[in-house]
Each structure stands twice: as C-alpha cells, then as structure tokens.
C-alpha cells in the first residue's frame, strides 16, 4: 500500500512539475515575442570576460526613464526573456543596478517606458563610486559557477 501511495505521489509530482515548466516556458516565449515587436527595447551583450562577481551596470540616456531589466534565457530549443528587475532614473538620466556577472556571456534586455534611442549601457569602471538603485543578488548555483 505504501509503495502504491509513493508511486501516486511521484506521478502527481512529475505531472505538476512538467505542467509548471511548460507554463513558464510559454510565458518566456510570449515575452520574447512582445520584446521582438516592441519599439522601446535595447539589447546589450555581455561577453563574459570578467571575474565572477557583482558589478554595477549603468544605463544612461538624455532624459528620465524607467526600465524593466531582463536577460535572454535559453533552455534547450526554447528561448525567452526572463525579467528580473526594474529601475527608474530618479535624479537625472542614469540608472545604476548591481548584478552578478560570471564567465558566461549573456544578452541583457532593457524594456523602456518610452522610446529611448539615446540610451547607452556599460559596466561601470572600478574607480567610479556609484551607488546602485537596485541590487540583484546571484542565485546559489551562479556562485558555484553554473549558468552565469
């Protein structure tokens, strides 16, 4: 009887996990379709050549703006955008956010609240004393060197 209950539990667990994974991948796909058609998106490629750690990323523009911050997530044949933060330029035309950068390359995606052709993205220099408005800490597996 216990074996039967355990088997039922395992089947239900895998069914729910599969369903949730498919829904998540579907969401990423919809986001990617939206971003591909949007007029207010900027992509930035990080080449992965820095020592793994937290770095300040600077987004500068000629006007105030708000931005959704994400990255292109590829899982097998699926590709989508995973949004993981939001920031607004409070005191001018700059957003500074701190995020984990590892040895792997990554394509960041920035969805602006208005058309923003002048926006530039860069990693802050060490000598710049910038205080990030948002800090996005790494997951435990990124600290171990996986996916990032």
How confident is the model over 118-144, as pLDDT tens digits? Answer: 888 888 888 888 888 888 888 776 666
Query: Which one has a higher pLDDT value, 2 or 12?
Result: 12
Sorting pLDDT into bands at 50, 70 and 90, what band is 148?
Answer: low
State the average pLDDT for the chain: 84
Fold adopted by 2-143: Jelly Rolls (2.60.120)
Task: Give CA separation, 10 vs 14, 18, 20, 23, 130, in Å.
Answer: 6, 12, 15, 20, 50
Residue 43 scores a pLDDT above 70? yes
DSSP H helical ranges for 38-99: none
Would you state the pLDDT for residue 146? 58
Q: Kindly state the tokens that stand for 135.
A: 């800090």
Sorting pLDDT into bands at 50, 70 and 90, what band is 40?
Answer: confident
């Amino acid at each position: 009887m216990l074996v039967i209950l355990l088997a039922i539990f395992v089947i239900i667990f895998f069914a729910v996990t599969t369903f949730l994974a498919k829904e998540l991948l579907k969401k990423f796909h919809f986001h990617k379709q939206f971003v591909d058609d949007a007029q207010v998106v900027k992509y930035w490629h990080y080449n992965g050549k820095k020592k793994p750690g937290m770095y300040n990323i600077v987004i500068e523009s000629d006007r105030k703006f708000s931005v959704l911050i994400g990255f292109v997530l590829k899982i097998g044949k699926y590709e989508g955008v995973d949004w993981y933060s939001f920031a607004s330029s409070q005191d001018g035309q700059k957003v500074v956010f701190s995020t984990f950068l590892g040895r792997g390359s990554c394509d960041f995606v920035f969805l602006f609240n208005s058309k923003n052709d002048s926006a530039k993205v860069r990693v802050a220099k060490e000598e710049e004393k910038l205080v990030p408005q948002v800090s996005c800490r790494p997951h435990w597996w990124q600290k171990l060197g996986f996916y990032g």
